[in-house]
Amino acid sequence: MDARSAEDAWSALARPWRQALAQAWVAHGAGNIGVGAVLTDDAGAIVAEGRNRIADATAPPGRLRSTFIAHAEMDVLAQLPPGDYPGHTVWTTLEPCLLCSSAIVMSSVGNVRYAARDWLWDGIAGLADINDFVARRWPTRTGPLDSPIAVFCELLPVLWFVTRKPDGAVVGRYADRHPVLLRLAERLASDGGVASLRGRSVDAALAALWDDLLAVRAAERT
């Protein structure tokens, strides 16, 4: 089990991760799927930040909103002018789906770091095996994080599906592949354990949920 405190784990995160998690928490609090992302350049500087906006009534110019394709990675990629970006990195709190993986390829971004695995899209990297163009542009993908923070990043989007699409494909996949996380999401959704944290900072939310995140992490390792 990870012996670090929530505060230590948060402090150890690189700044792009902290910003991506902050965006995910804002997305969750606004009624969107809780995923956040940032884009860094060759030097590691953050050049764009974004989040899921499927429920947002407004968005900055040129950014998607009020549509189910308004994903966090799409939000940051929409801020990138056309070009080749082999040294840029998308940092996202959840493993990119089919839509976002394709958008990353089309945007010529060379690297992806994801904090949490998405069981719905298990095997998505196989896209690079079926098309030469995709294979040439397929980014270097790194993830998930080896930390209870990864559980938090996976939990936020599952909470959305538990409350809004309990009979859908995501909940069904998690019932099969990660029932421990699903049970936590269902409990927190029913008892208001996460809703009560809205308005607090993301690191405060992490600290409040840390024991639950540790328990899921321990179950994952058994």
This prediction's pTM: 0.96
Domain membership of residue 1 (yes or no) is no
pLDDT of 2: 62
- Residue 94 covered by a domain: yes
CATH (domain of 148):
3.40.140.10
Residue 199 inside a domain? The answer is: yes
Residue 97 lies in a domain: yes
Residue 145 has a pLDDT of: 97
What's the pLDDT at 1? 46
What is the C-alpha to C-alpha distance for residues 39 and 203, in angstroms, rounded to an integer?
Answer: 21
The confidence score (pLDDT) of residue 3 equals 58
Task: Find, among 44, 116, 39, the residue nearest to 76 by Cα.
Answer: 39
pLDDT given for residue 215 in this prediction: 97
Answer yes or no: is 75 within a domain. Answer: yes
Structural domain contains residue 162: yes
Report CA dihedral (61, 34, 143, 91) to the nearest 10 degrees.
Answer: 20
Q: How many domains does the chain have?
A: 1
Q: Which residues pair with 140 in a beta bridge?
A: 111
Tens of pLDDT along the chain (222 residues)? 465 799 999 999 999 999 999 999 999 999 999 999 999 999 999 999 999 999 999 999 999 999 999 999 999 999 999 999 999 999 999 999 999 999 999 999 999 999 999 999 999 999 999 999 999 999 999 999 999 999 999 999 999 999 999 999 999 999 999 999 999 999 999 998 898 998 999 999 999 999 999 999 999 988
Per the structure, the complete domain to which residue 189 belongs is given by: 6-220
Answer whether residue 33 is part of any domain.
yes
d(CA 148, CA 75): 26
The answer to whether residue 146 is domain-embedded is yes
